[in-house]
Amino acid sequence: MPRGGVTSRPVSPDAPPTDESATRPLDRLGALLGSWDPRRHPWWLRAAVAVLVTALATWMRVALAPAESGGRFVTLTLAAALCALYGGFRIGMLSTLLGMLAVNFLLVKPYFSFAIGNLNEAFWLNFWHLLTQVVVVGAIALMQKRTRELRASVEQAQRSHQQMLDTFENSGTGMAHTRLDGHWIRINRSYCDLLGYSRDEVVLRHWRQFTHPDDVEHDLHVLDDLVSGRIEHHTMEKRYLHKQGHTIWVLLSVSMIRHPDGSPDYMIVVAQDISSRKTTEDALRTSERLLSQAQELALMASWRYDAARRQFTTLGNANIILGVPRAVFSDLDMLAMTHPDDRLRMQQAWAAAFREGEPYDIEYRVNLAGQWHWVSVRAEFERGPDGRVTQGLGTVVDISAHKRAEQQIQQLNASLEERIRERTQALRAAYDELESYSYAVAHDLRSPLRIINGFAQALEEDNPALSVESRRHLERIREASKKMGELIDGLLKLSQLARGELQRAPVDLSAMATRQLRELAATSPERTVDWSVQPGMIAMAEEALIEALLQNLLHNAWKYSAHTAGARIQVSMQDSGGRREFVVADNGAGFDMARAAKLFQPFQRLHMPHEFAGLGIGLATARRIVLRHGGELRAQSAPGEGARFYFTLQPAA
């Protein structure tokens, strides 16, 4: 309920009067009786003034009127009063004593002789004069003291009032005074800043204009309770409407100030901006709601353990998630819920974590809603200065579905392993049968080929008169039978690559490639080939297979660069994507990468037989060797730009 405001000249119902007409009589009285503080002047100066004023009054009395005319003490009484006003009580009494001496010895000739003949009369005159002066001077001194005290009180009240106004105006919390009809008495700067309006704008508006429409009715009920006296003050959270249009949450305290007769006078309002707190609370509630939903979706529950009470307390709606009838239960209850086969293991894990500080992370079965469920429990413990556990915080996750899936997977794995063993035995039997069949086929095919080749040669030798054309036909028969034999040997060699276990050892590829290239150069002395091998290339592999691998790759490089002037062959090593690759490159005929899918298939060739001789089995053999070592073989080429073959092997330690 925004009930506060500031006018250009704020006035408080309880503030002391500050009008000049009200303070003018007091200032005049101070000017007459306390224009200065006697303590401002040193005592010797005040005494000297008393002597001077008294002497002046004596001279004036003698000069203006004879002493015999009567009223001897009147003039000197006035002098004593003036001295008291200037110097205080003691100085006034000093002037009184000096005046009495002057009256008795200096006003009547002969001077310096006692002026009053009747001693009884003299005594009473001096006594009553002294008594009167004590009363007058004392009254003046008392009046001065009271005047000083009054002025000090007024100044203190004015300072207190100003401090109150300064505190009110400069408070970091919005403060306001308002009348019952909603008119503002005063409002501080923080209140205006809270609403976003200037003082003048606030003064021209009713508090309802700043209040959220949904909160106005509640504010009116609170106002009725305050006016009727049912409550004297009230604190609530409410919403303001900022000048820029957004909503501000405030903590509002309203107190009713009443007249002495008990009737309502005005209200004091204190407003504190709590928008940030409300935003944080909303975010916290949202987080708690999302966390609760996430726990429900994940079948996760949180709990707290009180070590002193040996008691578990579920947090939030964890007991509903777990399906337990209550939110608080003892450690004995928890033990009773645990499956008998898991109790000892759970107790040992709890003791190790509780006493020795080991992590508590365990899976076991508990009875939830009459059924056994697998749960995963994790916990952390807080310890006191003595190292003992004071409390613990943990989570419980229902993993029954996961456990069932694990059991199913284990059963499937067992079944799969059994089927794999059966399939492996069947494949081994089929492989052995295929290997026997390959040897049998090779043996059976070689015999007819030898017969064909032998009879073709005998026919040529036994018939010297054969025509050239007939001899050419016999030569083709022998070449075909020879090629057929080579194909049979290639098939047998390709099938033998998958046999046996690899015997890995460090293999020096640099030395092996150098030796093979030298042998190729020796077999073709008519060719000039510029070849190079990078030193230090070593891999873990079976030496015999790597020998066949390099032999196939280098033989191809040597063969397909035969028609290239300035032929070059390079064997090197490079890093590619964190892997080490060995490279065999040449600048020979190359091939079209669009047909690369056939490159590593047996008996598939990318060149015509009349261009380059071959069976099409070398690269298939090379690829099978690399795959047996767990590596990869790939090619990169373009027609007329040579070819590059990359393969990977396990590097040497």
Instruction: Give every CB contact of residue 437 below 8 A, 6+ residues apart in sequence.
Output: none
Q: How many CB atoms lie within 10 A of CB 566?
A: 9
> For residues 483 and 333, what is the distance between their CA atoms, to the nearest angstrom?
87
> For residues 548 and 534, what is the distance between their CA atoms, to the nearest angstrom?
19
- Token pair, residue 337, equals 């819920």
Q: Report the SS3 class of residue 362.
A: strand
> For residues 450 and 455, what is the distance between their CA atoms, to the nearest angstrom?
8
Share the mean pLDDT of the chain.
78
Residue 110: pLDDT band with limits 50, 70, 90: low
Query: Among 80-89, 116-125, 170-179, 500-509, which stretch is predicted with the lowest mean pLDDT?
Result: 116-125
What is the predicted pLDDT for the residue at 508? Answer: 92
> For residues 604 and 597, what is the distance between their CA atoms, to the nearest angstrom?
10
- Token pair, residue 101, equals 């001496």
For the segment 372-425, what is each residue's pLDDT rounded down to a tens digit? 888 888 888 888 888 888 888 888 888 888 888 888 888 888 888 888 888 877
Mean pLDDT of 422-441: 65
> For residues 290 and 280, what is the distance between their CA atoms, to the nearest angstrom?
15
Instruction: Give every CB contact of residue 185 below 8 A, 6+ residues apart in sequence.
Output: 4, 5, 7, 10, 11, 12, 13, 176, 177, 178, 179, 266
What is the predicted pLDDT for the residue at 7? Answer: 36
> For residues 480 and 486, what is the distance between their CA atoms, to the nearest angstrom?
10
Mean pLDDT of 265-281: 88
> For residues 440 and 432, what is the distance between their CA atoms, to the nearest angstrom?
12
Please return the burial class of 282, using the count of CB atoms within 10 Å of its CB with bins 0-12, 13-18 and 19+.
exposed
What is the predicted pLDDT for the residue at 112? Answer: 62
Using CA atoms, how far residue 558 sits from 94, 522, 546, 583, 605, in Å, is: 144, 12, 18, 15, 16
Q: What percent of the chain has pLDDT above 90?
A: 5
What is the predicted pLDDT for the residue at 354? Answer: 81
Mean pLDDT of 152-165: 85
CA 400 and chain centroid, separation: 35
Token pair 């009930």 is found at 3
The 3-state secondary structure of 345-360 reads: HHHHHHHHHHHHCCCE
Angle at 133 between CA 132 and CA 137, to 5 degrees: 125
38 in Cβ contact with 86 (< 8 Å): yes
What is the predicted pLDDT for the residue at 487? Answer: 55
- Token pair, residue 327, equals 């939110």
What is the predicted pLDDT for the residue at 20? Answer: 43
Instruction: Specify the higher pLDDT residue, 263 or 144.
Output: 263
Residues in a beta bridge with 254: 234, 269
pLDDT at residue 582 is higher than 90: yes
> For residues 453 and 451, what is the distance between their CA atoms, to the nearest angstrom?
5
Angle at 314 between CA 311 and CA 315, to 5 degrees: 130
Q: What percent of the chain has pLDDT above 70?
A: 76
Backbone angles phi, psi at 532, to 5 degrees: -150, 150
Mean pLDDT of 325-349: 86
What is the predicted pLDDT for the residue at 137? Answer: 84
- Token pair, residue 474, equals 């016999």
Residue 535: pLDDT band with limits 50, 70, 90: very high
> For residues 121 and 112, what is the distance between their CA atoms, to the nearest angstrom?
19
Q: At what angle do helices 43-64 and 72-87 cross, to 10 degrees?
A: 160
Residue 30: pLDDT band with limits 50, 70, 90: very low
Residue 510: pLDDT band with limits 50, 70, 90: very high
pLDDT at residue 72 is higher than 70: no
Helical ranges in 301-399 per DSSP H: 318-322, 331-337, 343-356
For the segment 452-485, what is each residue's pLDDT rounded down to a tens digit? 777 777 777 777 777 778 777 777 777 666 656 6
> For residues 417 and 415, what is the distance between their CA atoms, to the nearest angstrom?
5
- Token pair, residue 164, equals 């109150």
What is the predicted pLDDT for the residue at 18? Answer: 40
Q: Is the dihedral of CA 199, 205, 209, 215 positive or negative?
A: positive
What is the predicted pLDDT for the residue at 442? Answer: 59
The CATH architecture one would assign to domain 504-651 is: 2-Layer Sandwich (3.30)
Instruction: Specify the higher pLDDT residue, 150 or 578.
Output: 150
372 in Cβ contact with 384 (< 8 Å): no
> For residues 244 and 212, what is the distance between their CA atoms, to the nearest angstrom?
14
- Token pair, residue 537, equals 């290339």
Query: Among 67-81, 161-175, 509-523, 556-570, which stretch is predicted with the lowest mean pLDDT?
Result: 67-81
What is the predicted pLDDT for the residue at 653? Answer: 65
> For residues 17 and 325, what is the distance between their CA atoms, to the nearest angstrom?
71
Residues in a beta bridge with 572: 583
**DSSP H or E segment with residue 78:** helix 72-87
For the segment 627-643, what is each residue's pLDDT rounded down to a tens digit? 888 888 888 888 878 88
Mean pLDDT of 200-209: 86
54 in Cβ contact with 75 (< 8 Å): no
> For residues 332 and 327, what is the distance between their CA atoms, to the nearest angstrom?
15
CATH top-level class for 281-398?
alpha beta
> For residues 629 and 273, what is the distance between their CA atoms, to the nearest angstrom?
74
pLDDT at residue 595 is higher than 70: no
537 in Cβ contact with 651 (< 8 Å): no
Tell me the CB-side half-sphere exposure of residue 498, using CA atoms within 13 A: 12
| Homologous superfamily, domain 171-273 | PAS domain (3.30.450.20)
611 in Cβ contact with 620 (< 8 Å): no
pLDDT at residue 179 is higher than 80: yes
Residue type, 397: V
379 in Cβ contact with 305 (< 8 Å): yes
Mean pLDDT of 577-599: 78
For the segment 212-262, what is each residue's pLDDT rounded down to a tens digit? 889 888 888 888 888 888 888 889 888 989 989 889 899 989 999 999 888
- pTM for the whole thing? 0.39
